Every structure is written in C-alpha cells, then in structure tokens.
C-alpha cells in the first residue's frame, strides 16, 4: 500500500473536522443541518406534501445557499489537478472565518446565519482535493467512508 502524503492527510482531517463542527453547531443551535443537502431536499418534498410553507422556504434557502457556495468555490479555485496547497485555499478559509465572525456580531436573524453557514460549507465542499485521480470532499463523509 502506498503511503499517503502527510500534508494531504492533515489538510483533509482539518477540513473534515471543521465541516463537521460547523454542521454540528447548526444542528445544536438551530435544529437545521447546513451541509447535508440530501436531507434538506427530502424535507422540501415533505414540506410541500404537508404544506409547511415557512419551513419549506428555509429548506430551499439552505439548498440554494450551499449550491451558491459551491459555485463561488469553483470560480475561486477552478478545477485543479492533483493536491497542492495553494494560497487561494487559505484566502478562502480566511474569508469564511471573517464572514462568519462578522455575521455573528452584527446579524440579528438566525436563519440568515444558517444560510451563510450553508454557503460556507458549500464553498468548502467545492474546494475538492484531487489526489491520484480520486476526488476527496471534506463536508460529507458518506463517500469517504464508502471509499475506505
């Protein structure tokens, strides 16, 4: 078995920890998941079935926010080749951290904060790492565990 790049392993571990922590915060603080969009899409269909319009709007907002973050990530990073730490990754995470802190200080609406959290996780998920032909995502562990 080939030895994995230590920098890559540390980077993936930190990103997965960060993504999981942000999602856990959203669950504990707001009872909403910010990174598990499959569940949010499922809730959209049940909200439609039960005509729960206020919750439907929140779920649609979460999905759109996550998707918008992934789009911005694609614009910032582009489609890279194999793993290589670049300044754009660091700048992106500094931007996310500053944005979340400013919103925490100045924002009164909790739902908007969760939308920004979902945007940030979409941005992080879009910062995929390609390593030896595999695409590694860091906000959803399902595929990673399956690959393992």
Q: What is the structure's pLDDT at 1?
A: 40
What are the per-10-residue average pLDDT scores of the chain (148 residues)?
A: 70 84 89 85 92 95 91 74 60 83 80 89 78 70 54
Sign of the dihedral through C-alpha 34, 62, 99, 106? negative
Q: What is the structure's pLDDT at 47?
A: 95
Q: What is the structure's pLDDT at 93?
A: 80
Of 139, 136, 145, 106, residue with least CA distance to 33: 139
Q: Which helix (H) or strand (E) holds 62?
A: helix 53-77
Q: pTM of the predicted model, to two decimals?
A: 0.79
Of 41, 55, 24, residue with least CA distance to 121: 24
Q: What is the structure's pLDDT at 79?
A: 57
Residue keyed to tokens 């730490």: 85
Q: What is the structure's pLDDT at 78?
A: 65
Taking each helix axis as running N to C, give the angle between helix 53-77 and helix 37-49, from 0 to 180 degrees, rounded to the nearest 10. 150
Sign of the dihedral through C-alpha 25, 8, 5, 131? positive
Q: What is the structure's pLDDT at 49?
A: 94
Q: What is the structure's pLDDT at 3?
A: 63
Distance CA 51, CA 34 (A): 22
Q: What is the structure's pLDDT at 14?
A: 85
Domain ranges within the chain, ordered by starting residue: 6-147
């Amino acid at each position: 078995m080939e030895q994995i790049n230590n920098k890559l392993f540390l980077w993936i571990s930190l990103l997965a920890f960060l993504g999981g922590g942000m999602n856990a915060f959203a669950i504990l603080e707001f009872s909403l998941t910010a990174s598990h969009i499959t569940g949010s899409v499922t809730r959209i269909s049940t909200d439609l079935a039960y005509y729960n319009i206020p919750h439907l709007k929140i779920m649609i907002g979460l999905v759109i926010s996550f998707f918008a973050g992934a789009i911005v990530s694609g614009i910032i990073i582009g489609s890279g080749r194999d793993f290589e730490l670049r300044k754009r990754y660091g700048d992106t995470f500094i931007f996310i951290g500053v944005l979340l802190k400013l919103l925490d200080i100045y924002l009164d609406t909790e739902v908007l904060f969760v939308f920004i959290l979902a945007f940030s996780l979409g941005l992080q998920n879009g910062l995929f790492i390609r390593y030896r032909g595999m695409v590694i995502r860091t906000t959803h562990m399902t595929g990673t565990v399956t690959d393992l």
